[in-house]
Amino acid sequence: MRDLRKVARKALSLAAAAGLATTVVSGAALAVDRVSAVHAFPEFLVYTKTFLAMVDDINARGEGIVEIQVRGGPEAIGMFQQPQAVRDGVVDMVHTPGSFYGASVPEIDAMVAARVTPMEARANGGAALMDQVHQSRFNVKHLGWIDGGVQFHIYSTQEFKFGDDGVIDLTGVKLRDNPIYHAFFEALNATTASMKATEVYSALEKGVVDAAAWTSIGILDLKWDKFLKYRIDPKFYNTDIGVIFNKDSWESLSPESQKLIQDVVAEWEQKSYDARQQDIAKDAEELQKRGMQFVSMTPEASEIYVTKANDAAWGRMKGRLEEMGGMENYDKLRKLYYKE
């Protein structure tokens, strides 16, 4: 009888231990922070590939701590609606150009017209100030500037025309527009049509537009080189692609999750910057092999052209800040991002 009682007590102890273990495991599973995310561009573009690789890095290093679940790209939420979606908490995290919500956060134009790298902006306090204004204006944290060091060109189906000052004259040119460079195109007298990147191929094919601005890389992925045969130099502006995170969602994460995500994003600023410099050289070589002509303006005209671009971006920011408030940040941002 005594032996039976011992067996019974042992069985109860084992059952209790198993229950405790189950509770601990279950608790640990519940403790993993789940993060929802979307990206602005289709998966085949290099910028999205960077983001997805960065997410994989976070998930691998954050196993048991945090997991980012990517819901998709513009097919899930329209690319121009994504910034509002993360602001309002529909999703936790978005990978998107800052210019898509520049009317709400005018300070993003400092990245557009920057003369510093993402790493320099992080080191000199520019990234911290950019994060601060995002939190106060848009209810999001700005975690990092990804795929920096990539600039824009205007590409055309037709030969470029030039004004008396040697700068390209876009009068009468039907140019695909985008919030990042709209102010500049207005200054060049272009006739613009705003559309998503996914709509441009068809627009070029049908003659709805005969020119488009895009970065030094990606034209081949988009297959726009089938129509675009001329590229104008010099380059202007910078990609302002960032990772933004709903502020309330961020504050609900564990400190461990926050540190891991922020550290990995900062690391990918350098990784993606280095990788894109190699892509720029490769794409330029391939475009020329396929017959695209790279047209250069004179040094004097190039200076006018780039100055006009930068003045348009800084002028747009200044005008918005004068209306919305926050002019105290204008000089700070110029010092941190423009290095005059």
SS3 content of the chain, % helix, strand, coil (to 5): 55, 20, 25
Distance CA 292, CA 232 (A): 11
pLDDT band at residue 340 using 50, 70 and 90 as cut-offs: low
Evaluate whether 91 touches 125 at the Cβ level (below 8 Å): no
Evaluate whether 101 touches 139 at the Cβ level (below 8 Å): no
Evaluate whether 181 touches 170 at the Cβ level (below 8 Å): no
Evaluate whether 175 touches 185 at the Cβ level (below 8 Å): yes
The token pair at 13 is 């102890």
pLDDT number for residue 189:
83
**Mean pLDDT of all residues in 230-248:** 96
pLDDT band at residue 12 using 50, 70 and 90 as cut-offs: very low
154 pairs with which residues across the strands? 213, 232
For the chain, the residue count is 340
Distance CA 249, CA 231 (A): 43
Whether 339 shows a pLDDT value over 90: the answer reads no
Say how many C-beta atoms besides its own lie within 10 A of residue 282's C-beta: 11
pLDDT number for residue 178:
81
pTM for this model (two decimals):
0.84
User: Lowest-confidence range among 21-25, 162-166, 299-303?
Assistant: 21-25
pLDDT number for residue 20:
41
Q: What is the pLDDT of residues 43-75, one digit of tens each?
A: 999 999 999 999 999 999 999 999 999 999 999
**What share of the chain in percent tops pLDDT 90?**
83
* Stretch (H or E) spanning 57: helix 46-61
Q: What is the mean pLDDT of the chain?
A: 90
Helix axes 46-61, 255-289, angle to 10 degrees: 150
Whether 231 shows a pLDDT value over 60: the answer reads yes
Q: What is the pLDDT of residues 146-180, one digit of tens each?
A: 999 999 999 999 999 999 999 999 888 999 988 77
The letter for the amino acid at 17 is A
Say how many C-beta atoms besides its own lie within 10 A of residue 248's C-beta: 11
Whether 21 shows a pLDDT value over 50: the answer reads no
Q: What is the pLDDT of residues 110-158, one digit of tens each?
A: 999 999 999 999 999 999 999 999 999 999 999 999 999 999 999 999 9
236-to-59, 116, 151, 294 alpha-carbon distances in Å? 35, 13, 6, 15
pLDDT number for residue 30:
56
What's the distance, CA 337 to chain centroid?
Answer: 17
pLDDT band at residue 2 using 50, 70 and 90 as cut-offs: very low
Owner of token pair 């679940």: 69
Distance CA 333, CA 110 (A): 6
Whether 222 shows a pLDDT value over 70: the answer reads yes
What's the distance, CA 299 to chain centroid?
Answer: 30
pLDDT number for residue 183:
82
| DSSP state for residue 292 in the 8-state scheme | P
Break the chain into its structural domains and give their ranges.
80-340
Distance CA 242, CA 267 (A): 13
**Mean pLDDT of all residues in 209-232:** 95
The token pair at 26 is 């279950």
CATH architecture of the domain 80-340 equals 3-Layer(aba) Sandwich (3.40)
Whether 184 shows a pLDDT value over 50: the answer reads yes
